Amino acid sequence: MKLLLIAGTRPNFIKLAPLYHRIKNEAPDIRPYICHTGQHFDFNMSDIFWQNLELPSPDFQLNIKGDGVVDTIGKTILGINEIIRKEAFNLVVVFGDVNATAAGAIVGSQSRIPVMHVEAGLRSFDRDMPEEINRVITDHISDYLMVSEPSGIKNLEHEGFPRNKVFMVGNIMIECLLRTRPHWESIPLKGDILSFYEKKPVVATFHRPENVDNPTTLHRMADILQSYSKTQPVVFPVHPRTKARLEQHGLFQRLVDDHNILITQPMSYFEFLRLVSNASLVITDSGGVQEETSFLRIPCVTFRKNTERPVTVELGTNKMMSIFEENYLEKIEEHIAGLRQSPRKDIPLWDDSVSRRILDTIRQAVILQPKT
């Protein structure tokens, strides 16, 4: 049986790795092929993850360089189509909510190859987010929907999906975190990163277009970082998109000149998890970071209007906040204090067996039957 696993970005690589390794170790009859679409391509956003996650060189490397979402999806569709025309696959597996996810699902579905979506059913209900559109498109043309949290089941039921297409398998990103724990807990940190790490810093990550592409929210984000740096060390691994916008608006140097803010390149997966695990607070607009902090029980504040991962708010450590929230410092302090007093609650199926449940589904599903 031949599977095509498609990934394009940093969080995709993290979600793909546990399934790839599970298949390699436990399913000799299945051959997983990896397609890297090239959306994230530089060393810090791509190669270092393949090293950390012990992934082999991709079987197919597309190097897509798109100009915006539609151009990227279009070019990725054409690239994946070429692969599928040359090789017969039994199943296409896509992950998360990026352009590679939607493109892979479209090509698989139009080529009548069954499609599996890992991390199905998440909804922010905000079509201003390109990721939300990718999620909706992908789910509605996928044959097997692998769900990570309870809201996913509810959303898919509400949208009328037949129950036999939907599988609650848990959160594969957490499996990756657990499987690599011995590595990231022991990764040596050096220089400034080590000295900031030892001081239990505030860790910040921002990259969503709604925050960084708008000059007003971008200025506000810089102000928030600097209001923290007055009293606490802040580590800010800067996403390439965010760096470009900060430079464009003359804010990058201002943050670099603040001695209590450590600006770094995007970190490796291992460095980042080690840093987050010792953070006093994480402020973010990332999807995956909301989940990792919930699992690690590190206080997290997500500066967005909504989250597609509500379980992190209900059971985890995550608090949603408008970037223009007044008195945010006090409100965040209250959140941290409240969390200290509340007992730990585990999120169902966020464990080290998510890829086993996905593999079971691959085996049980009628995926060997090509669609007619």
Q: Which residues are catalytic?
A: 207
Is the Cβ of residue 93 or residue 113 nearer to ligand UDP in the bound state? 93
To ligand UDP, the closest distance from the beta carbon of 267 in angstroms equals 4
Q: How far is CA 276 from CA 134, 279, 362, in A?
A: 28, 5, 34
CA distance 152 to 158: 10
Residue 46 gets which letter from DSSP? I
To ligand UDP, the closest distance from the beta carbon of 65 in angstroms equals 18
Torsional class of 95: left (φ above 0), alpha (ψ -120 to 50), beta (otherwise): beta
Instruction: Select from 18, 130, 152, 288 the one that contacts ligand UDP (CB under 6 A).
Output: 288
Task: Let me know: does 102 contact 134? Beta carbons within 8 Å.
Answer: yes
Can residue 72 be called a binding residue for ligand UDP (CB under 6 A)?
Answer: no
Q: Quick one: 273 exposed, middle or buried, by C-beta within 10 A (0-12, 13-18, 19+)?
A: buried
Q: Is 94 helix (H, G, I), strand (E, B) or coil?
A: strand
To ligand UDP, the closest distance from the beta carbon of 7 in angstroms equals 12
To ligand UDP, the closest distance from the beta carbon of 16 in angstroms equals 12
Judged by CB under 6 A, the chain residues 196 through 215 that form the site for ligand UDP are 205, 207
Instruction: Select from 292, 299, 307, 312 the one that contacts ligand UDP (CB under 6 A).
Output: 292
Can residue 14 be called a binding residue for ligand UDP (CB under 6 A)?
Answer: yes
Over the range 17-56, which residues count as b (16 or more CB within 10 Å of their CB) and which as e?
Answer: bbbbbbbeeeeeebebbbbbbbbbbeebbbebbbebbebe
Q: Quick one: 216 exposed, middle or buried, by C-beta within 10 A (0-12, 13-18, 19+)?
A: exposed
Can residue 237 be called a binding residue for ligand UDP (CB under 6 A)?
Answer: yes
Which stretch, 6-14, 302-310, 326-334, 359-367, contacts ligand UDP (CB under 6 A)? 6-14
Q: Is 57 helix (H, G, I), strand (E, B) or coil?
A: coil
Can residue 289 be called a binding residue for ligand UDP (CB under 6 A)?
Answer: yes
To ligand UDP, the closest distance from the beta carbon of 288 in angstroms equals 3
Is the Cβ of residue 208 or residue 357 nearer to ligand UDP in the bound state? 208
Report phi then psi at 274, rounded to 5: -65, -45
Can residue 287 be called a binding residue for ligand UDP (CB under 6 A)?
Answer: yes
To ligand UDP, the closest distance from the beta carbon of 343 in angstroms equals 25
To ligand UDP, the closest distance from the beta carbon of 205 in angstroms equals 5
Tell me the pairing of strands 60-61 and 31-36: parallel
CA distance 28 to 257: 54
Instruction: Select from 11, 38, 108, 170 the one that contacts ligand UDP (CB under 6 A).
Output: 11
CA distance 83 to 175: 29
The count of chain residues that interact with ligand UDP, using the rule CB under 6 A, is 17
Which stretch, 81-89, 101-109, 138-146, 280-288, contacts ligand UDP (CB under 6 A)? 280-288
Q: How far is CA 303 from CA 6, 264, 308, 325, in A?
A: 29, 20, 13, 9
Instruction: Select from 171, 286, 294, 302 the one that contacts ligand UDP (CB under 6 A).
Output: 286
Judged by CB under 6 A, the chain residues 253 through 272 that form the site for ligand UDP are 266-267, 269, 272
What does the per-residue mask of binding to ligand UDP show for 147-176, with x meaning CB under 6 A?
--------------------------x---
Is the Cβ of residue 139 or residue 292 nearer to ligand UDP in the bound state? 292
Can residue 303 be called a binding residue for ligand UDP (CB under 6 A)?
Answer: no
Beta bridge partners of 203: 235, 282
Binding site for ligand UDP (CB under 6 A): 10-11, 14, 173, 205, 207, 237, 266-267, 269, 272-273, 286-289, 292
